[in-house]
Structure 1
Amino acid sequence: MDAFISLAVHRRWLTVLVSALACFAIASGVVRLVEVDVDFRNHFSKDDPRLVALEQLEETYALSDSLLVVMAPQSGAIFTREALTAVEEMTEQLWQTPFVTRVDSITNYSHSWADGDELFVEVLIDEAAALSQDDLERIKEIALGTEEIAGRFVSRDGRIAGLVVNLVLPDVNRQQAKVDVVDFLHAAVAEASSSHADIEYHVTGELLLNRAIRDALNEDTAKLGLVAFVTMLVVAFALLHSVSAVGAIIVMMVAVVISGLGFAGWTGMKLYGESGAALFVLMAVAVAHSMHVIEGMLAQMRQGMDRRKAAIHSVQSNAWPVFLTSATTAIGFLSLNFSEMPPFRVMGNIVAFGAMCAFVLAVTLLPALLSLLPVSARPLRAGKRAFFDLFGRFVVTHHIALLVSCGAVIIALIAGITRIELNENPLELLDRSYEYRRSTDFVSENFSGLEPFEYSLSAGREAGITDVEYLRDVDAFAAWYRAQPEVAHVFALTDILKRLNQSLNGDDPESYVVPEESALAAQYLLLYEFSLPMGLDLNNLIDVERSASRMTVVLKNLSAKEKIDLDSRAQAWLRLNAPSLETGATGATLIGAYSIKRNIEKMLIGTFVAMSVVSLLLVFIFRSLRFGLISLIPNFVPAAMAMGAWGYAVGEIGVAASVVTALAFGIIVDDTIHFLTKYLRSRKQGLLPSESVQSALSTVGKALFATTVVFALGFLVFGASGMASNQTLGLLLGTTVIIALLADFLFLPPLLIALDGAKESTRQIRERLKQESD
């Protein structure tokens, strides 16, 4: 390796040319990358049983995407001529939405009534502008007294209206179709707002969420990404005091990042919103490797070595630890393949490849550039002792006190993990700086819940949905759900049949029950379907074979734990009271709740495997089981401490936080390796543990501090992101690497002195330090 490095520097122009060609060849794969996928559902594994169930339900009931438009008059009343006219106009306008299949609102609601044995079905509101005050009172009474309307098309207090838009998007040019739909809705709402300035409009739905996520990612990349990039460079310059050295770092960053992206393109990976985090990790890895090499080179130049020899010497002395840090970083990030969420698997693979590219470039391109550029070292002032020399003396002098106090802090912070509650709420993926979040908050607080449980309840046979026993079971299940405090609204086939039964029995409230005979239920349903206008049939409620019906349960704002608990209680109720219907709920909200739990379980396995592999690698490299195991402590503890601190400060984590331990381990293991490599080198030279600690801190302390500052600030910048996942990852990872540095500086050295085996008393250490000072 030494000869190769020396050759790379002596043939520096050739090295730069070959490196550039290799990077260009890998980076050319970027042209194969397709558009970044921000679809919320693609965060889940295609094999997720609840996602499969949801897709089957949507196929069965001709569902695809749906949107909700909410209209809130400033007057606080929806049952006025002006407000209902605006709802009527918006209903007609929404029928022009691209790929629309159905629009439901209070104005086109199919209201049924009977005259004797004759059933009539007509829209509840026709020509709203011509309604009399009596008409308005009648409509209000019907709407608020009808389970199918109240909480679904009108808020239960009569202040707000909701319009539901159902779409079926094409398989071809699907992404463009989504753009067209959202653009149309925004334009329609803007036009309606200008015509009815006294009405507040809010639009929610999965398509709007995906657009908002895309906007947030673009904003993070354009603003926070630039801030992170500049911050890294400013820190590098502040510590290195060399414009040329920073120029070399920029080249390294660009080369590593485009190599990672090119790898993704050549291997056919699909990029997700979270993939952007991989690029910033790679930038930080490139900076870290470069800082270690450059700091070592500058140290040699201060001792009189010329630039070329200093570059060779620094790379030769750092090549092994840089390789180890790249390898362990790759192992740590490859553990993300244990995650069942595709975005994190992609992130892990990109970083793993990029980290190894960073090593190759650090021992080839970087020294060649440093030997070409006019890098100069600022000399230390005469008589001034370097900070980390003094810091090393402090650590070894107070190693017992540091070991005890750090241990106490570690235990106290880790205990905070018990306060953490798992929660993944798609409604809270963005903060309130985004219109989508403000709209969803308004709707959930003032209109109705936005997180549904969906059921496809099988009757067990074709045309069985009108069997009386089946209907009674469905009705009882719906009634049970309505009695639960977590539920905002329930809609089932039985609601329609009970209303029909009441209408055809003189509107007697006592007749608001399912028909007593199956044949009668079938007759009522057939009569009702024949009376429905085109586009408002029951295909979204009944399957083609009439063997199953759909039931929707809209929830209030619940945590993931509460959703899982409610689903478990529902299944228990079905087993006990209606075993023929027994099934689990599905829906994006429930998929997310179960996914975070499974993802954490799998990532714990992945992190354990990564730690085991790295431990075995370090045992082999250091040729010591003791040091291999010791190295795990400062690598695992910081992530646990950061999670504990998060538990005290926030108390909730989402699915993004489930990969923090693996991500952090892949990053912070670098500092431990650099420190232990220098420590063991000193021990082999015959130095005592305390002397080896001082030597290691003096040699790599500044580089470790510099790389940690780069990592921490680069991640903490994303704490200002409007996306919950980026915000959580940024804050947790930034906190973790800071804690890791403190552990490497304040906990690992005392631990090595205590466990190394060569016993030194505190008195002996102090006497040695005093002699050195004298």
Structure 2
Amino acid sequence: MHKIFSFGFWNSIASLILRNRIAIIIIIGVATFLLSTQWKNMRFSHTEANLMPDDHEVNLSYNDFLDKFGEEGNLILLGIQDSELFTPEKFAAWNKLTDKLLTYPEVDQIISPSSLKELKKFEDPKRFEMVPALESKTPTEQELKDFEDKLFTALPFYENLVYSTHSNTIQSALYLNKDLVNTKARKIFVLEELNPLIEKFEAEHDIDVRVSGMPYIRTLNAQNIVDEIGLFIAAALLVTSFIFFLFFRSLRATLISMITVCIGVMWAFGVIGLLHYEITILTALIPPLIIVIGIPNCIFLINKYQQEIKKHGNQAKSLQRVITKVGNATLLTNVTTASGFATFILTDSQLLKEFGVVASINILAIFLLSLLIIPVIYSYLKPPKDRHLKHLNKKWIGGFVNWMENMVRHNRIAIYISSIVLLVLSIIGIYTIRISGSILEDMPQNTQFYKDIRFFEREFDGVMPLEILIDTKRPKGVLKLSTLKRINELEDFITEVPELSKPLSINRLVKYSKQAYYNGNPKYYQLPSSQERNFIMPYAKSLSSNEGIMQSYVDSTGQYARITTFMKDVGTEKMKEIENDLLPEIKKIFPEDRYEVSLTGKALLFQKGTNYLVKNLIISLGLAILLIAGLMAWMFRSFRMILISLVPNLLPLLVTAGVMGFLGVPIKPSTILVFSIAFGISVDDTIHFLAKYRQELKANDWKIKRSVYAALRETGVSMFYTSIVLFFGFSVFMISSFGGTVALGGLVSATLLFAMLANLLLLPSLLLSLERSIANKEVLKEPAMKILESEEDENEWDSIDKEN
């Protein structure tokens, strides 16, 4: 009954498609048009991707910080390492540039040598005021030289803020409007205003300007993602169409396949827009992914059509049989691949959920498009000529199949030994893998903005903010001398950490107040004593009106303070060490009964998010394995067959992990993604092989050897074709400028190649070696799903043909 239902169901589908060709073309056209109208809803994120749930304690802590002090990642840095900067011509030019930048609504304020202010003490009334450090608007060369000397020797307040202690490097700090920094306005300002202005300045004055800061890095990084989407799509189309043409030697077949996957790409963009998802580094991979996964569908369908034409020459019968015989197998393989991606939906990461939703929907969509478009287009074309069918008899393919059969027949021991050696080496390699949460590691390293990041790391000890939020639990608690001393003690500890920059806090202003009280003598740049504090307070009261300084590091109630330090890009492991060193010191300096102190900031947020994402990806891989094992159990009704089918698919994953360990490729979001993608795709080959094997067992009276070799010859060619397409298709990701995307492309390609060899060599070897335990009808019962055609189906077709 089930068999008749399966045959009848797909026969009905075939009839429905071929009898309603015009309606199907119209429906696909309308659906494509409607989805294209959703493209306008696609948007690119203007903030870093949130790798953790909103209710995660790390996110709650960060949001609490933002409530107190606002957006922390609003600083763009302009750096100059030029010995002639403090000459009248170049200094005037730099002054003009910063004045121009200050006119933009996106820029709130600029701290720059040309507009530097100095804290001065005044009597009558007693007060401190910030006055221009350089009084003349058109300073002479001597005045500039004196100003340079004063800046580097007498103004420690501006250390690492305006000048570097490592060299004579100068920087200007642009504070962007906090309301605009996470909007499209930031992108427009950086790409259309700031960069052209800097380029013009460099050309006119022969000064090399380095630009960095989180808003700048995020903008250029996002733009690189946008630029690469088109590159990936073009490269994927070019590579897969070229390989497809080499296999089929038919421009017509190649063009039909390209039309199919191009519509699939249009649908992918439409789904992203329909769901109002952002384009991230993950969702940007989906359109080329659809091309790479869609082409094997086209290969199976077109190859079967040509085989049928060669067999009997009847076009109508060939198209009917393509849908009926290949539809079920192609549906099943696409469902397993989509299931692998769908496991991401079950994770707690919004980034992964969105990727899983869009990928799984569009993998099923490309199956549907392939099943509808290819038979319908071919129905309007003349049957292929003999020259289009020559590829079906290629001798080199026969040689490859004979080599596989010979290996399985005569060298099974060598296959097992090789597999065990690979397994042992892989386990050794796995133990050397490290986890990386580096923000910079995956960024395009040949770009100028990446080189500028490294420049600021050398000169100013980092660009990624790490924040420490201090709650004194009482209003005005920050300005108590005991609190200031505790802050100072923690800052001294931070200064000793080589990966962290000299901190910024309210203490800088308090120390500067004492220096100003002693008429600017730099040796008094330190916290005042209790007695000195009483003398200084009458002068310092005037500073409370200077909200730009006070509100940056102390909230309006005086209860909360922040310490800002900038980190070098050190990666997850080193960041964890720094955190483990800081937390005990913080607890020692700030008693928990009197203070509440938390670590936060972009650097920590990314590190924690990376660990969280890696954990979720490992969970999703485990879910994918369980889900696909469940599908295999449902299909074959045999626990032993589940074990046999998982071995050749898990071994390539272990080998890839071992290779990562030996090559020093770390576990990070982009590389851990490899395993779920590769497993979901590689298991398709196993399904094809085992389905054909079960079929051959019935046809050959349960004779194992004959059935294994027949299945190997039958499925080997199509598995080789699809694996080659997948290998080169995923290899296009290696042209990316993002290190993570390069690793993803290379590792998935290598894993799928390992998986093909494992399914063509190890899987049949296992079936032959374990023939006694599996060669019976109890182990291989009638499957829950008919996957490939059998001789009985052929008889049914013959009877239908006679009736017609």
Superposition map of 1:450-465 within 5 A: 450-465=463-478
Superposed CA deviations along residues 394-420 of structure 1, whole A, max 9, x for unmatched, are 322211211221221133134322222
The aligned counterpart of 2:336 is 328
Q: How many residues align?
A: 755
The aligned counterpart of 2:687 is 673
Superposition map of 1:540-551 within 5 A: 540-551=552-563
Displacement after TM superposition at 1:200 (Å): 0.7
Q: Could you say if the C-alpha distance between residues 404 and 429 of structure 1 is closer, same or farther in structure 2, counting changes exceeding 3 Å?
A: closer
Superposed CA deviations along residues 510-536 of structure 1, whole A, max 9, x for unmatched, are 672244277677655433344x5xx84
Displacement after TM superposition at 1:110 (Å): 3.1
CA distance in 2, matches of 1:35, 1:362: 25
The aligned counterpart of 2:785 is none
Q: 8 Å contact 2:86–2:141 — kept in the other structure?
A: no
Displacement after TM superposition at 1:497 (Å): 0.7
The aligned counterpart of 1:765 is none
The aligned counterpart of 2:797 is none
Alignment equivalent of 1:710, drawn from 721, 725, 728: 725
Q: 8 Å contact 2:167–2:459 — kept in the other structure?
A: no
Alignment equivalent of 1:23, drawn from 20, 28, 41: 28
Secondary structure at 1:489 match in 2: coil
Displacement after TM superposition at 1:433 (Å): 3.1
1:167 paired to 2:176: yes
Superposition map of 1:282-431 within 5 A: 282-304=290-312, 306-373=314-381, 374-376=383-385, 377-378=389-390, 386-390=398-402, 391-431=404-444
Letter in 1 for 2:449: Y
The aligned counterpart of 2:494 is 481
The aligned counterpart of 1:572 is 584
Q: 8 Å contact 1:23–1:259 — kept in the other structure?
A: no
What stretches of structure 1 of length at least 5 have no aligned partner?
Answer: 761-774
Displacement after TM superposition at 1:172 (Å): 12
CA distance in 2, matches of 1:175, 1:657: 30
Secondary structure at 1:583 match in 2: strand
1:39 paired to 2:54: no
Letter in 1 for 2:220: A
Alignment equivalent of 1:277, drawn from 285, 294, 319: 285
Displacement after TM superposition at 1:453 (Å): 0.5
1:690 paired to 2:705: yes
The aligned counterpart of 1:770 is none
Q: 8 Å contact 1:64–1:166 — kept in the other structure?
A: no
Displacement after TM superposition at 1:278 (Å): 1.2
Q: 8 Å contact 1:144–1:156 — kept in the other structure?
A: no
Q: 8 Å contact 1:322–1:359 — kept in the other structure?
A: yes
1:648 paired to 2:662: yes
Letter in 2 for 1:635: N
Q: Could you say if the C-alpha distance between residues 540 and 606 of structure 1 is closer, same or farther in structure 2, counting changes exceeding 3 Å?
A: same
Q: Could you say if the C-alpha distance between residues 332 and 514 of structure 1 is closer, same or farther in structure 2, counting changes exceeding 3 Å?
A: farther
Q: Could you say if the C-alpha distance between residues 145 and 620 of structure 1 is closer, same or farther in structure 2, counting changes exceeding 3 Å?
A: farther
The aligned counterpart of 2:163 is 154
1:140 paired to 2:149: yes
Superposed CA deviations along residues 301-330 of structure 1, whole A, max 9, x for unmatched, are 444453433343344333332222121112
1:490 paired to 2:495: no
Superposed CA deviations along residues 89-109 of structure 1, whole A, max 9, x for unmatched, are 333222122322121123333
Q: 8 Å contact 1:329–1:355 — kept in the other structure?
A: yes
Secondary structure at 1:491 match in 2: coil
What stretches of structure 2 of length at least 5 have no aligned partner?
Answer: 1-5, 776-804
Letter in 1 for 2:722: T
Displacement after TM superposition at 1:505 (Å): 4.3
The aligned counterpart of 1:127 is 136
Between 620-629 and 245-254, the greater mean CA deviation after superposition: 245-254
CA distance in 1, matches of 2:771, 2:168: 73
Secondary structure at 1:651 match in 2: coil
Q: Could you say if the C-alpha distance between residues 305 and 695 of structure 1 is closer, same or farther in structure 2, counting changes exceeding 3 Å?
A: farther
1:441 paired to 2:446: no
Q: 8 Å contact 2:233–2:287 — kept in the other structure?
A: no
Superposed CA deviations along residues 252-300 of structure 1, whole A, max 9, x for unmatched, are 3134333333333444433334213112222222211221222233334
CA distance in 1, matches of 2:78, 2:456: 7
Q: 8 Å contact 1:717–1:730 — kept in the other structure?
A: yes
Alignment equivalent of 1:600, drawn from 614, 620, 629: 614
Displacement after TM superposition at 1:232 (Å): 0.6
Q: 8 Å contact 2:347–2:619 — kept in the other structure?
A: no
Alignment equivalent of 1:662, drawn from 656, 676, 683: 676
Q: Could you say if the C-alpha distance between residues 513 and 457 of structure 1 is closer, same or farther in structure 2, counting changes exceeding 3 Å?
A: same
Q: Could you say if the C-alpha distance between residues 88 and 679 of structure 1 is closer, same or farther in structure 2, counting changes exceeding 3 Å?
A: same
Q: 8 Å contact 1:67–1:203 — kept in the other structure?
A: no
Letter in 2 for 1:187: P
Superposed CA deviations along residues 165-212 of structure 1, whole A, max 9, x for unmatched, are 112254799314531344221132133223421x21122233333332
Secondary structure at 2:341 match in 1: helix
The aligned counterpart of 1:769 is none
- The alignment's C-alpha RMSD in Å is 3.0
Between 35-44 and 553-562, the greater mean CA deviation after superposition: 35-44
Q: Could you say if the C-alpha distance between residues 385 and 281 of structure 1 is closer, same or farther in structure 2, counting changes exceeding 3 Å?
A: closer
Displacement after TM superposition at 1:457 (Å): 1.5
CA distance in 2, matches of 1:467, 1:288: 70
When the two structures are superposed, what TM-score results if normalisation uses the length of structure 1? Answer: 0.90
Q: 8 Å contact 1:493–1:541 — kept in the other structure?
A: yes
The aligned counterpart of 1:528 is 543
Superposed CA deviations along residues 117-142 of structure 1, whole A, max 9, x for unmatched, are 76443232333742564763464344
Letter in 2 for 1:495: R
1:739 paired to 2:754: yes
Q: 8 Å contact 1:212–1:434 — kept in the other structure?
A: no
Q: Could you say if the C-alpha distance between residues 134 and 179 of structure 1 is closer, same or farther in structure 2, counting changes exceeding 3 Å?
A: closer
Secondary structure at 1:330 match in 2: helix
CA distance in 1, matches of 2:412, 2:102: 74
Q: Could you say if the C-alpha distance between residues 63 and 615 of structure 1 is closer, same or farther in structure 2, counting changes exceeding 3 Å?
A: closer
CA distance in 2, matches of 1:410, 1:277: 30
Q: Could you say if the C-alpha distance between residues 167 and 74 of structure 1 is closer, same or farther in structure 2, counting changes exceeding 3 Å?
A: closer
Letter in 1 for 2:744: L
Q: Could you say if the C-alpha distance between residues 624 and 71 of structure 1 is closer, same or farther in structure 2, counting changes exceeding 3 Å?
A: same
Between 557-566 and 509-518, the greater mean CA deviation after superposition: 509-518
Superposed CA deviations along residues 344-371 of structure 1, whole A, max 9, x for unmatched, are 3222212211222233344444333344
The aligned counterpart of 2:118 is 111
Q: 8 Å contact 1:319–1:363 — kept in the other structure?
A: yes
CA distance in 2, matches of 1:526, 1:379: 88
The aligned counterpart of 1:749 is 764
1:93 paired to 2:100: yes
Superposed CA deviations along residues 471-521 of structure 1, whole A, max 9, x for unmatched, are 111111111100112223211111221221233246483672244277677
The aligned counterpart of 2:602 is 588
Letter in 2 for 1:619: A
Secondary structure at 1:42 match in 2: coil
Between 690-699 and 480-489, the greater mean CA deviation after superposition: 690-699
CA distance in 1, matches of 2:396, 2:176: 73
CA distance in 1, matches of 2:66, 2:530: 31
Displacement after TM superposition at 1:379 (Å): 6.8
Q: 8 Å contact 1:38–1:273 — kept in the other structure?
A: no
Q: 8 Å contact 1:169–1:177 — kept in the other structure?
A: no
Q: Could you say if the C-alpha distance between residues 264 and 451 of structure 1 is closer, same or farther in structure 2, counting changes exceeding 3 Å?
A: closer
CA distance in 2, matches of 1:414, 1:544: 56
Q: Could you say if the C-alpha distance between residues 729 and 153 of structure 1 is closer, same or farther in structure 2, counting changes exceeding 3 Å?
A: same
